[in-house]
């Protein structure tokens, strides 16, 4: 599967792991419900815009789908439901508005929405993921190598719908070389290790999914995710080979590995899986429900 604009996708996906309290942005009317208007800060123009939940969901979904040339219908629908769920979970977290178009501050946003994405959002209008009668943490990431990450491995906290599951995608490792001079600066400035001794090997201790749980260099032990972020590796699933002039990293997958893999969702949809099959595979124990059923 070909990756497109991967660096941008990885950057904006990091925002999706931020936790937030659910916020009701829907208001019941005459026994039914209607969407409130959301206030969006347009980072490019510096102006505020107003969009309904479904319109905003379409722009967020378009941003998540941007890394793929063609997104099958089932994948686009699954991504739109996860996006809508996260939108409701993350209201009012940036720029003094409900949301912001900057991926560094809020959820990813794309001004142009392809027709197939808009149709997928329309076909799944109002559907969200529920866990125990509340909105589920519908985190997504770009790709995983063989299996996704569990919330317990990542944070030490058990979340029933964020466990490690298989991810049926074909990805090739990316290589990333860091010279000893660069590594020394990273260890000192980003990881706070004074005058690091790089004569020893980097010892990687994997977790149950194969991602780095910790990295040890002599007496210093660093968390795997912290190490990956400091060295700008796309995920904590990596191997390291010490070369004469530095470290050669082979990195598998992109993102934190929590929740649904976008590449995996696309692969499943290409194999004719529907959005329900995809979502319930990546978020076991959840239900797909109309959002108004969660409003008390």
What are the structure tokens assigned to 58, written together? 């379409």
pLDDT above 50 (res 18): no
Q: Tell me, what's the pLDDT at 85? A: 96
Residue position matching structure tokens 């002039």: 245
Is the confidence at residue 31, as pLDDT, over 70? no
pLDDT digits (tens, 9 = 90+) for 230-252: 999 999 999 999 999 999 999 99
Task: Give strand ranges (E) for the chain.
Answer: 26-29, 32-35, 37-42, 47-52, 99-100, 127-131, 134-135, 140-141, 174-179, 202-206, 212-217, 220-223, 238-242, 246-251, 260-261, 287-290
Rounded to whole angstroms, how far apart are CA atoms 75 and 169?
A: 13
Predicted confidence (pLDDT) per residue in 98-146, tens digit? 888 888 888 899 999 999 999 999 999 999 999 999 999 999 999 999 9
pLDDT in tens, 138-193: 999 999 999 999 999 999 999 999 999 999 987 889 999 999 999 999 999 999 99
User: Can you spell out the DSSP letters for 151-216?
Assistant: HHHHHS---TTS---B------PEEEEEEHHHHHHIIIIIS--SS--TTSPEEEEE-TTSSEEEEE
> In Å, how far are 9, 221, 227 from 12, measured between CA atoms?
5, 28, 19
- Rounded (to 5) percent helix, strand, coil in the chain: 30, 25, 40
């Amino acid at each position: 599967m070909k990756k497109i604009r991967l660096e941008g996708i990885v950057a904006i996906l990091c925002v999706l792991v931020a936790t937030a309290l659910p916020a009701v942005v829907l208001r019941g009317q005459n026994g039914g419900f209607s969407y409130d208007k959301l206030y969006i800060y347009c980072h490019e123009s510096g102006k505020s815009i107003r969009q309904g939940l479904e319109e905003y969901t379409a722009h967020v979904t378009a941003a998540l789908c941007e890394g793929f040339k063609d997104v099958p219908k089932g994948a686009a629908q699954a991504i739109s439901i996860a996006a809508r769920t996260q939108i409701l979970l993350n209201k009012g977290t940036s720029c003094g508005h409900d949301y912001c178009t900057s991926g560094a501050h809020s959820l990813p946003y794309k001004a142009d929405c392809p027709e197939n994405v808009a149709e997928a959002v329309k076909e799944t209008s109002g559907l969200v993921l529920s866990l125990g009668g509340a909105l589920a943490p519908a985190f997504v990431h770009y790709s995983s190598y063989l299996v996704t990450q569990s919330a317990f491995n990542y944070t030490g906290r058990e979340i029933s719908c964020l466990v490690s599951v298989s991810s049926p995608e074909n990805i090739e490792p990316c290589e990333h070389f860091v010279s000893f001079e660069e590594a020394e600066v990273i260890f000192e400035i980003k990881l706070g290790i004074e005058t690091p001794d790089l004569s020893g090997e980097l010892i990687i201790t994997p977790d149950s999914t194969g991602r780095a749980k910790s990295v040890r260099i002599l007496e210093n032990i660093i968390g795997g995710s912290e190490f990956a972020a400091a060295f700008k590796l796309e995920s904590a699933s990596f191997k390291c080979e010490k070369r004469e002039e530095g470290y050669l990293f082979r990195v598998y997958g992109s993102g934190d590995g929590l929740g649904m893999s976008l590449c995996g969702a696309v692969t499943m949809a290409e194999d004719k899986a529907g959005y329900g099959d995809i979502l319930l595979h990546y978020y076991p124990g959840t239900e797909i429900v109309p959002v108004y059923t969660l409003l008390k």
